[in-house]
Amino acid sequence: VQIIALNLFAMQPKVTPVDYVRPQIDTHKSRWFFFSSASRPFGMVSLSPDTWTEGSWNSGYLYNSKEIRCFSHVHCWQLAGVPVMPTTGEVKGHKGMDAYKSTYSHETEIVKPGYHKVELDTYQIRVELTSTSRVGMHRYTYPAGEKANVLFDVGALLAHGKTEKAAIHRISSKEIGGYSVLAPTSRRKKPVTVYFVARFNQNMTAFGGWEKEGKEKKLVHKNSIEGADIGGYASFGKLKKQTLLMKVGISYVSEEQARINLEKELAHWNFDRVKEDAFAEWNRELGKITVEGGSEEEKIKFYTDLWHSLLGRHTFSDFNGKYIDNTGEEPVVRQVPLDNGTPTRNTYNSDAFWGSEFNLNILWSIAYPKVMSEFVSTLVDYYTNGGMIARGPSGGNYTYVMVGDQATPLIAAAYNKGIRDFDIESAYQGCLKNSEPGGIRDYVGYKTNPGNFMQQYVDKGFVPEPTTKSPHAEGCAMTLYFAYEDWCMAQFAKGLEKEDVYRKYLQRSFNYRYVYDKQSGWMRPRTTDGSWMRNFSPIGKGFNMPGFVESNAAIFTYYVPHNIKDLIYLIGGNEAFVTKLNQQFELASQDNFISKHGEHAHNWIDYENQPSLHMAHLFSDAGAPWLTQYWVRRIKKEVFGDITPFGGYNGDEDQGQMGALGVLMAIGLFDVQGGASTTPQYEITSPIFDKITIQLDNRYYPGKEVVIETVNNSPKSVYIQRVSWNGVEHSSFQLAHEELVKGGHLVIELGDTPNKSWGVN
């Protein structure tokens, strides 16, 4: 009996990181780019069902929706494309998605990284989806005796806006191709074309589509259709083999490039092999950080968080390294560097890195330095191609989303952590340009014409409140962002041994002092003549207070990440600082430490949005690391602990940022300065797991792995009692990046009462 029991135990399948990921967490109010199931890490294809297809917010896969409208291949920052839908019987594509949508049930649904299975109840079709990086693969199992169709609604409105023009044409009995021209949006100012080639494993019995005649759309039976509001279909009659396979390659360059992507990445028809390959790739990437101990719920949230940090920003270059540069008058095909004919890297589409100094910059630089390097190169390519390092590029062009210059903190962090396989000279020159008038900082809130914000900042030391407002043009916040970005520029220059440039920007990095009002104790907007803005209070109502981007003075007062010690001095010293900040956390706890999305002015702390994501970690700098330990643990559990479809990210997961923050809180490492210092330091907090193992990339770092082990870990034991690093007692709350990447063993002993003597020196 004992031998049988042991054999049964040995036969139990090993639980992998993929098994812990729950993509449906917090999908009840999804953003278009929030959810993509059948995709690879940073894949060009982000294939998943769409229950709603209009709008950037509350679109894509919404958990409470009862109907699927299509399965589209692109869920990306300001990009969408190639919606398809299998149906039976009469072709209803010309009648729109309301006519051909299908009910479905979560009871028959399986959702995992790289795979999605769902039953279309209206048609009794089983749909299975998987992908490579640039090719979506579909497996449809149709009911016997029914006419099988696949609709391509390539001219439909999808997500961010209308489709200007589309085309679809029959290439052979098993292949079709086409494109969709995505109309400009308020953020992406130029059209972008998504090309596709779809290939089937069975012969079509009919091909056709629909086009507009007057105000109505009519079915047409011809081999090529082009224009506005058009679409196409492939029919297969009553299938002898009820399972139909389809491969869809996409590209932003050309139809021929889409075909190259398809043929190079997916030459075979083995769906299960692609699915297993997807699982293997996700396990390989997610497995770079492994955790032991903790609850099942904590493991589920951890690996889902890590999945998000490797999901939301998408490959934009093709298999052979070609990509579209849309920064000029006309689109230009560019080529990433090759090594013996193979691209050395990808280039990416990406939302802004607004706030990523508190999450992605830290996490990627520890466990995924190659990813960080490729994103740096992508942003720097825009300097080479278009004259400025980008902030939130989409479709090969600038979007000018948000405010400031988030590229410089990312680049400085990469360089000063030893990630240097990018064009350093172009990066340096581009960062210099962005740090002066006429650079990216002057482009605010999606405006394509620069303002004079930087000139005022240089002349006055601060940005006064503009007399005419555009989105995010808030002077006090800009002053604080520019000061931090100046410090990052100084650190980049220092790392390059450019002493004069270092000193110039270091001096400018103190400009936050111009907007600190000692009398009120808060950062406060100034007007053009230098006087304080009247009718001021630390919190308010609505989207933001005047002067602050999606936030208020109570939060932005602490946005001096590069010089918290000086901020503590301004506020009155350690005791005054700790008392003030702790009171804000106590007040914010009544609202679960968040504001409702779009109402960011009203709370004292707001872990729903980027500006306050570092605040729980600030007590350590003021000599009270036990309060950092306490509040980080509470925030991790109460704000980010939900693993249901109705919570966990609080509605604003900006392409992996909240996920990456959750990972850092779980493993007990952070860096308020965002890693940009020439001597980066990680701040130690109390991990939620018994053991964490981080693999180090030997292309960048000398060590093999970092093991973080806790002693006496429990939900109540949140306070650090003592720490050792490689067997030597470690009394500081900081650990140097240089030491960490050599590899080693960090042991953290925890208890249920604060040890107020650890970490205060």
pLDDT at 237 over 60: yes
Distance of CA 647 to CAs 358, 641, 644, Å? Answer: 21, 8, 6
pLDDT value for 13: 74
Given a contact cutoff of 8 angstroms between Cβ atoms, the answer to whether 309 and 363 are in contact is yes
Please give the single-letter amino acid code of residue 391: R
Q: Return the biggest CA–CA distance within the chain.
A: 87
- Residue 395 is classified by DSSP as T
Residue 457 to residue 437: CA distance in whole angstroms: 9
CA distances from 682 to 87, 707, 760 (A): 54, 15, 15
Residue 488 pLDDT: 98
Confidence at 12, pLDDT banded by 50, 70, 90: low
pLDDT at 568 (0 to 100): 98
Three-class SS of residue 601?
Answer: coil
**pLDDT for res 2:** 55
DSSP annotation of 358 reads G
Residue 453 is predicted with a pLDDT of 96
The mean pLDDT of 45-64, rounded to a whole number, is: 96
User: For residue 529, is pLDDT > 80?
Assistant: yes
Nearest to 496 by CA among 567, 415, 421: 415
Please tell me the least confidently modeled range out of 187-191, 647-651, 748-752: 647-651
How many Cβ atoms sit within 10 Å of the Cβ of residue 716? Answer: 12
pLDDT tens, residue by residue, 106-142: 999 999 999 999 999 999 999 999 999 999 999 999 9
What local confidence, expressed as pLDDT, does residue 68 receive? 98
Look at residue 11 in the predicted model and tell me its pLDDT.
52
Summarize pLDDT for 397-448 with one digit per residue, the tens.
999 999 999 999 999 999 999 999 999 999 999 999 999 999 999 999 889 9
Q: What residues form DSSP beta bridges with 323?
A: 334
- pLDDT, position 467: 66
Mean pLDDT for the stretch of residues 1-11: 50
pLDDT at 656 over 90: yes
Return the structure tokens found at 385: 């191609």
Whether the pLDDT of residue 354 is over 60: the answer is yes
- The pLDDT, as a whole number, for residue 6 is 47
How many residues are present in the chain?
Answer: 761
Q: What is the pLDDT of residue 312?
A: 84
The pTM assigned to this predicted structure is 0.96
Answer yes or no: is pLDDT of 651 > 80. no
Predicted confidence at residue 756, as pLDDT, reads 97
Q: Which residues contact 370 (CB under 8 A, 6 or more apart)?
A: 697, 699, 700
| Strand arrangement, sheet containing 734-736 | 669-670, 681-684, 734-736
**Pairwise CA distance, residues 616 & 627, whole Å:** 8
pLDDT above 90: percentage of residues in the chain:
93
- What is the per-residue pLDDT across 81-106, written as a single tens digit (0 to 9) for each? 999 999 999 999 999 999 999 999 99
DSSP assignment of 164-193 equals EEEEEEEEETTEEEEEEEEPP-SSS-S-EE
Question: At 8, is the pLDDT very low, low, confident or very high (cuts 50, 70, 90)?
Answer: very low
CB-CB contact of 84 with 121 (8 Å): no
Return mean pLDDT, the chain.
96
State yes or no: pLDDT of 9 exceeds 50: no
Segment 268-288 mean pLDDT: 98
pLDDT value at 3 more than 60: no
What whole-number percentage of the chain has pLDDT above 70?
A: 98
How confident is the model over 468-495, as pLDDT tens digits?
778 899 999 999 999 999 999 999 999 9
